[in-house]
């Protein structure tokens, strides 16, 4: 069967769908996830540099040991039961978002990374990208990182602006445009 | 890996930049999208999203016993993957405007009245057969602030979590026979006529639904397949 056509999120996604705490991956059901807590913050802008308000972001990542809590992962039985791996945040008027999470371990064959989805009014399809961590030797061997033209790869690497706080700004179009993936 | 995500036929998906939709040229990438072969990271995905978000159920037709203004309708939806296999246990988020075309949202202007018995947001989980029923009132049409005659036809928004990350879908469903359908810039951003047709629900005879409710059926196909590719 042919997958249903996508459509824009539009401007009226209910604010209550960004549940309080949905951007905090460090706990699940009141229990603390294993690993080192980190923050992921950033600003999302469109072509003219204007920050985008009320844009929806979702992330998906492995736990601190590089295991996905999903049955397709051969190691999923060892996954951290207190780590859901998914979170949602909306940008504020200044275009800023923030997640709390744990530093993902490197999954087999991959560098440590966090998957992002961007949904917004005027985006006819979900935009998908991947955040990598700075100073990781494994980045250069990561197949997703390598799929990006060399000149643009640095745009996928977050900046550690304070210990444990990673800045991953997103530019949807234009100068310093974030690389997005087509799967 | 037992679940596959294959590239889609571009004609079945919307153009990214849509003439007459002024935000689209500012926000959609200029650079070509990067093709990648999915890895385990994209072929796994969140399970148990319902633990992180508040479910609201699928009955939004009124407040308590008081029905919202509009035509009562039941929408039977089935969520399947590319094999036609039901996607059970999937979180579905639904939002729509009221019968007058007004959303409960700070972004909506005051072109149409609020109905105090209608909020317009449902959040639920599909059953084992991938099905759910939405009880609501039929949404109205509304003018888009482009002020050039573009009206959105009646439609309902859906956000769905499938079996894996790349199955995630945000879409809109339309109603059959609406005069605004052929000129809607979002519906018609999908080039393929058959793909557009699949975004439109079907009106069906009631089967056990209460007298006085319109009944519609709709199918949503999420990306992903177990099927082994056919050997040449």
Task: Please write the tens of the pLDDT for every residue from B2-25.
Answer: 789 999 999 999 999 999 999 999
pLDDT more than 90, % of chain A: 97
Mean pLDDT value across chain B: 95
Does the pLDDT of residue B1 top 80, yes or no?
no
Is there a catalytic annotation at residue B152?
yes
Q: In this structure, are residues B94 and B121 in contact, taking their beta carbons and an 8 Å threshold?
A: yes
Q: Which one from B142, B196, B218, B223 is the annotated catalytic residue? A: B142
Check if A6 contacts B (Cβ < 8 Å): yes
Two tokens, residue B186: 């979002």
Q: Which residues pair with A41 in a beta bridge?
A: A98, A167
Does A7 reside within a domain? Answer: no
B:127-156 residues touching chain A, CB 8 A cutoff: none
Looking from the CA of A8 toward its CB, the CA atoms found within 13 Å total 24
B:170-229 residues touching chain A, CB 8 A cutoff: 170-172, 186, 189-190, 195-196, 198-199, 220-223
Burial of B143 (0-12, 13-18, 19+ CB in 10 A): middle
pLDDT confidence of residue A30: 83
pLDDT confidence of residue B219: 98
- Per-residue pLDDT band at A61 (split at 50, 70, 90): very high
Largest interatomic CA distance in chain A: 48
- Per-residue pLDDT band at B230 (split at 50, 70, 90): low
A:67-86 residues touching chain B, CB 8 A cutoff: 68-73, 84-86
- Per-residue pLDDT band at B210 (split at 50, 70, 90): confident
Chain B positions in Cβ-Cβ contact with residue A22 (cut-off 8 Å) = 52-53
Per-residue pLDDT of A11-59, as tens digits, reads: 999 999 999 999 999 988 789 999 999 999 999 999 999 999 999 999 9
pLDDT confidence of residue A28: 85
Q: In this structure, are residues B122 and B134 in contact, taking their beta carbons and an 8 Å threshold?
A: yes
Check if A109 contacts B (Cβ < 8 Å): yes
* Rg of chain A in Å (alpha carbons): 16
Question: Between chains, do B27 and A122 touch, taking CB under 8 Å as contact?
Answer: yes
User: What DSSP element (H or E) covers A100?
Assistant: strand A96-102
pLDDT confidence of residue B161: 97
Look up the pTM and report it: 0.97
Q: Read off the pLDDT of each residue in B187-207 and give the average, rounded to a whole number.
A: 97
- Class of the CATH-defined domain B20-221: mainly beta
Q: What is the CATH number of the domain that holds A149?
A: 2.60.130.10
The rounded distance, in Å, linking the Cα atoms of B67 and A90 is: 32
Does A111 reside within a domain? Answer: yes
Q: Read off the pLDDT of each residue in A52-72 and give the average, rounded to a whole number.
A: 97
Is there a catalytic annotation at residue B142?
yes
* Rg of chain B in Å (alpha carbons): 19
A63 DSSP 8-state letter: -
Chain A positions in Cβ-Cβ contact with residue B49 (cut-off 8 Å) = 84, 86
pLDDT confidence of residue B110: 77
Does A6 reside within a domain? Answer: no
Q: Which one from B152, B196, B218, B223 is the annotated catalytic residue? A: B152
Helices (H) and strands (E) in chain B, counts: 2, 13
Lowest mean pLDDT among A74-83, B92-101, B222-231: B222-231
Residue with tokens 């940008």: A91
Per-residue pLDDT of B63-91, as tens digits, reads: 988 999 999 999 999 999 999 999 999 99
Selection from B5, B170, B1 nearest residue B82 by Cα: B5
What domain range is A88 assigned to? 15-171
The rounded distance, in Å, linking the Cα atoms of A68 and A104 is: 10
Question: Between chains, do A6 and B166 touch, taking CB under 8 Å as contact?
Answer: no
State the smallest CA–CA distance between residue A183 and chain B in angstroms.
6
- Per-residue pLDDT band at A98 (split at 50, 70, 90): very high
State the smallest CA–CA distance between residue A14 and chain B in angstroms.
7
State the smallest CA–CA distance between residue B62 and chain A in angstroms.
17
Q: In this structure, are residues A98 and A23 in contact, taking their beta carbons and an 8 Å threshold?
A: yes
pLDDT confidence of residue B231: 54
Residue B205 makes CB contacts below 8 A (sequence gap 6+) with B215
The total domain count for chain A is 1
B:64-123 residues touching chain A, CB 8 A cutoff: 80-84, 93, 95, 97, 103-108, 120-121, 123
Determine how many CB atoms are found less than 10 A away from the CB of residue B77.
Answer: 23
pLDDT confidence of residue A34: 96
Does A10 reside within a domain? Answer: no
Mean pLDDT value across chain A: 97
Residue of B34, B40, B51 lying closest to A147 (CB–CB): B34
Q: In this structure, are residues B55 and B90 in contact, taking their beta carbons and an 8 Å threshold?
A: no
Does A176 reside within a domain? Answer: no
The rounded distance, in Å, linking the Cα atoms of A9 and A55 is: 9
Measured in degrees and rounded to the nearest 5, phi and psi for residue A146 equal: -70, -25
Measured in degrees and rounded to the nearest 5, phi and psi for residue B166 equal: -80, 0
**A99-129: burial string, b at 16+ Cβ within 10 Å, e else:** bbbbbbbbbeebbbbbbbbbbbbbbbbbbbb
Selection from B232, B184, B223 nearest residue B79 by Cα: B223
Does the pLDDT of residue A181 top 90, yes or no?
yes
């Amino acid at each position: 069967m042919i997958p249903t056509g996508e459509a824009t999120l539009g401007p009226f996604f209910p604010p209550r769908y960004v549940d309080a705490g949905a951007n905090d991956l460090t706990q699940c059901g009141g229990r603390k996830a294993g690993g080192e807590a980190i923050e992921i913050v950033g600003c999302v802008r469109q072509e003219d540099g204007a920050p985008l308000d009320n844009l929806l972001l979702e992330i998906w990542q492995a736990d601190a040991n590089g295991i996905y809590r999903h049955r397709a992962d051969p190691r999923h039985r060892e996954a951290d039961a207190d780590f859901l791996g998914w979170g949602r945040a909306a940008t504020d008027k200044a275009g800023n978002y923030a997640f709390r999470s744990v530093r993902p371990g490197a999954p087999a064959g991959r560098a440590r990374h966090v998957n992002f989805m961007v949904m917004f009014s005027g985006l006819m399809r979900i935009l998908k990208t991947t955040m990598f961590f700075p100073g990781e030797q494994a980045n250069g061997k990561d197949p997703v990182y390598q799929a990006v033209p060399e000149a643009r790869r640095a745009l996928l690497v977050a900046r550690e602006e304070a210990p444990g706080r990673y800045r991953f700004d997103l530019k949807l179009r234009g100068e310093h445009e974030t690389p997005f993936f087509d799967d | 890996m037992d679940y596959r995500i294959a590239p889609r036929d571009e004609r079945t998906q919307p153009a990214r930049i849509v003439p007459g939709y002024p935000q689209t040229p500012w926000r959609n990438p200029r650079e070509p999208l990067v093709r990648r072969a999915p890895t385990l990271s994209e072929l796994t995905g969140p399970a148990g999203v319902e633990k992180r978000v508040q479910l609201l159920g699928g009955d939004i037709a009124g407040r308590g016993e008081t029905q919202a203004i509009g035509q009562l309708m039941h929408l039977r939806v089935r969520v399947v993957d590319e094999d036609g296999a039901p996607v059970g246990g999937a979180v579905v988020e639904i939002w729509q405007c009221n019968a007058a075309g007004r959303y409960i949202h700070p972004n909506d202007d005051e072109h149409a009245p609020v109905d105090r018995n209608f909020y317009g947001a449902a959040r639920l989980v599909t059953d084992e057969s991938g099905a759910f029923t939405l009880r609501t009132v039929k949404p109205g049409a509304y003018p888009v602030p482009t002020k050039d005659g573009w009206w959105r036809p009646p439609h309902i928004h859906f956000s769905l979590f499938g079996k894996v990350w790349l199955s995630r879908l945000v879409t809109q469903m339309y109603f059959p026979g609406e005069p605004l359908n052929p000129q809607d810039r979002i519906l018609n951003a999908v080039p393929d006529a058959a793909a557009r047709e699949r975004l439109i629900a079907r009106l069906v005879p009631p089967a056990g639904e209460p007298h006085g409710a319109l009944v519609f059926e709709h199918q949503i196909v999420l990306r992903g397949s177990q099927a082994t590719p056919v050997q040449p």
